[in-house]
Each structure stands twice: as structure tokens, then as C-alpha cells.
Amino acid sequence: MANFEFSDDFNYTPERNAFGKFAIAALKFLALSFSIALAVYLFIVIFYTSEDQRKMRQEIRFVNTVLGSIKENEALLADGVEVVLEKDDQIYREIFKSQAPRADIFSDLMGKNIPAEIYGLKETNPVAFTKEVAAALGPQVKKVEANLIAVMARLQVEEDVKSFYPLGYPPLANYSYARTGASVGMKNSPYYNIPKSHNGLDMVAPVGETVYATGEGVVSDISKDKKGNGNAVTITHSGGYKTVYAHLADIFVTKGKTVQAGTKIGTVGVTGTTFAPHLHYEVYKYDHVVDPTGTFFRSLDKDTYAKLYIQASQTSKTLD
């Protein structure tokens, strides 16, 4: 059997054993304390926020919400401006046979390198500024006056206006934007739920409500089908325009009859292929589809007209 010998400096004693246990316990305590401190720190950093931080986060959320709303309103405003400009061009093309003016009355001033203080109302000499503005407005006033004289010369009598643009009377009385459905474009069909070309404007109304001619013309067609437009009246107007009134219940006019704006031509129904009672109103010019919302600019105030256009463009599903 082998003999084991201990060196002189390694002798087992109870004191040495006790010290080792104390050292291990101390290390464990330090490790546990550090772990607890670290956990508390992380908890504070992740979950605890000061009052100032809480308020700041609330303000950031509020700003983000407001910013989103501003962006949406900005997009709607941009669409509205685009619509107004397009309708302005349409009016000039159809009635005045010319391009709508796009004059900027300050364009002349901008070209003179006037200091920015003038535009910030910091100019100490307002008389000089007024003279500059008047000088810039002079040529613009002359242009507007010349255009007005030319327009008045073309529109000598009211009948001239009708010949240029014969539409404008609403097909339903007391019409409001809340009764506006889908307009022209690719819209979802209520029967197949797939995009389908929609050539008119859906105008919500109860069965039996009176339908009126939107302008002077001649009834050129009357159809009574079990599908499609159902009972429908087509009126041919001057200037290459044609209007269609579909899904009627009753028809009060006959083919070849001359009607005026506001003539009763029938009542709202649910004939043909339709999901709910409404008037389907179509407008054509030389057999090309025209957005009917553009024909109401003369009969509605600007706020109602803007809401009508937005409602019609945003409605994605038709009623027929």
C-alpha cells in the first residue's frame, strides 16, 4: 500500500476549513446582491418612468395622432383643390370654349426681387409697397376685363349657356351628399364582390320618390328590362350630352317628348339588377362616360358639392 505524505505547509486544521466556508458564503452573498441590484435596475429602466417622462410620452402620442389627422386632411384638401381646378377647366371648356386662366397676381412682384421684409409686413414704407402691388395688378386687371368682355359677348342670352352646358338641375329634390353612393370608376359589385366598371352615380332614395330631368332635351329612349338598368329613361340634350335614369318604378314620359329641366319623368324603384332602391344616374357626352358629380356644381353650394364629390369617390361598392 502506498504511503501519502503531507508537506509541512499543508496540514489540515479546523480553522482552515471554516475560513473556506466563509469565503464561499461571502461570494454567494455578493453574487446574489449584485443579481438583485441588476434586476431592480432593469425593472426601473424598463417599467418605471418619471412624471416628466410620462408626460413627454403622452405628448408624443398626441403629436403623432394630430400629425396623422393633419396628413389625412392635407390629402383631402389636395384632392379637393385638384377637383376644383378640374371643374374650373371643365366649365371653361364647355361654356367658354377656352382654357381656364391660372394667373398669379403677385407673379410680377416676385420677379422684381423685392426684399422678403415686404412679404412679412415689416416694410416701414407701406405706401411704396401699395404702389408696387398696384403696378403688378394693373396688367392682370386688364386681362380679366378683356376675358370678361369676350365671355359676355359669347353669352348674350341665357339660351347660349344652355347650348354650351344643358345640365345642372338635380334629378332628386332636396339632394344632399349623405344620399350619395358610388360614382364612375371601377367599383365592387354587391353581387360578385369584384371590381366592375360603374358608369353612373348611385343616388340613395326610397321607392316612389320623384325623379326629374336634369336639363332640357328630348326623350330618346325608354327601356323596360328585367335585368341591367330595369325601367330606364334616356334624354338627349344639346351639346352632345345624354342622360340616363335607371331602376325606375314608374315612367311619366314617352319617347319623343320634349322635357325641360325639372320635368317629372318617373319615380325611384328597384327594377332591373339592383341591390336596393336608388336612382342610377348616368351622363354621356358624345357617348363617352362623364362623372355625374361634375354636373352639380351649379345647383349645390360649394361645401355640399365638395362633400358630395368626396363621398362619391370614396364609396367603393355600388348598389347595382
Please report, in angstroms and rounded to a whole number, the separation of the first and last CA atoms in the chain.
Answer: 108
Q: Which residues contact 183 (CB under 8 A, 6 or more apart)?
A: 198, 200, 201, 202, 291, 292, 293, 312, 313, 315
Query: What average pLDDT does the structure give for the chain?
Result: 75
Q: Does the pLDDT value for residue 210 go beyond 90?
A: yes
In order, the DSSP letters of 136-163 are HHHHHHHHHHHHHHHHHHH-SSHHHHHH
pLDDT in tens, 59-92: 777 767 766 766 776 666 666 666 666 666 666 6
pLDDT in tens, 7-56: 455 454 555 556 566 667 767 777 777 777 777 776 766 666 566 667 77
What span, in angstroms and rounded, lies between the C-alpha atoms of 140 and 277? 51
Q: Which residues contact 107 (CB under 8 A, 6 or more apart)?
A: 136
Verdict on whether the full-model pTM lies above 0.85: no
Q: Does the pLDDT value for residue 298 go beyond 50?
A: yes
Q: Supply 274's cell numbers.
A: 339592383
Q: How confident is the model at residue 233 (pLDDT cuts 50, 70, 90)?
A: very high
Q: Supply 99's cell numbers.
A: 382654357
